[in-house]
Amino acid sequence: MSDLTRRDLLGTAIRGSVLAAMGGGALFLVRKAHGQILWQVDAARCINSRLGEVGVEACSLCTTECVVALSAVRAVNEYSKCGRCNICPAYFNITSPVNELGQPSEKLCPRDAILRKPIGKVDPEDPANNFYEYLIDEAKCDGCGKCVLKCKEPLGLGSIVLKVRYDLCVNCNRCAISEKCPKDALRQLSVGQALG
């Protein structure tokens, strides 16, 4: 009698676990179908933005692996963190020759997707006497991550990060970028987490 009871209990537990897993999976699918589960780049994991990585090349898997044309990932400048520098290492190729203005002669972005605008009136005698705003043209940006790597501390302030744009992302069940990302930086988040 006690053996049967134990077997019954075990069976019930297993059936319960399976049902719970199916229920969880179904709930996940329902939430995903309703756009409540989203893919997002974890900046603390992304090789282009995670601190402590030095001497690495920019990772462009978000550009090459995304199934969306031009990629659903974009570089985003968080203005509250931006230093508004005169010479921004994410905008300029800082190792290019210095021009007559005392600035690097080349831009960093291969698609010229970053715009540099002076804030206020430029001091004509000393252009360094200014703050500059850096805007990312998302129609051009393909999320290659080059600017993100150069904006990272300690070279920059880490204001530019990669983000999945939800109006572009088709929300694949198995994100092609996440399949290849060596740092597991593409994460599925609830809407609340993604926007938080």
Q: Which residues bind another protein (CB under 8 A)?
A: 51-52, 54-55, 83-89, 94-98, 102-104, 120-121, 123, 128-131, 153-157
Nearest residue (CB) to another protein, 52 versus 196: 52
Query: Whole-angstrom Cα distance, residue 184 to residue 100?
Result: 44
What is the nearest approach in angstroms of another protein to the Cβ of residue 158? 11
CA 32 to chain centre: 20
What is the nearest approach in angstroms of another protein to the Cβ of residue 143? 22
Cα–Cα distances in angstroms (integers) from residue 189 to residues 20, 32, 109, in the given order: 21, 10, 29
Neighbours of 6 (CB within 10 A): 10
Neighbours of 127 (CB within 10 A): 14
Nearest residue (CB) to another protein, 86 versus 178: 86
Nearest residue (CB) to another protein, 28 versus 131: 131
Asked if 72 contacts 176 with a C-beta cutoff of 8 angstroms, the reply is: no
173: its two tokens = 């069940």
What is the nearest approach in angstroms of another protein to the Cβ of residue 83? 3
What is the nearest approach in angstroms of another protein to the Cβ of residue 64? 27
Helix (H) or strand (E) holding 37: strand 37-41
- If phi > 0 it is left, if psi is from -120 to 50 it is alpha, else beta; for residue 18 that is alpha
Nearest residue (CB) to another protein, 36 versus 86: 86
Q: Which of 79, 28, 50, 67 is nearest to 145 (CA)?
A: 50
Query: Whole-angstrom Cα distance, residue 62 to residue 160?
Result: 15
Nearest residue (CB) to another protein, 37 versus 145: 145
What is the nearest approach in angstroms of another protein to the Cβ of residue 115? 17
What is the nearest approach in angstroms of another protein to the Cβ of residue 14? 50
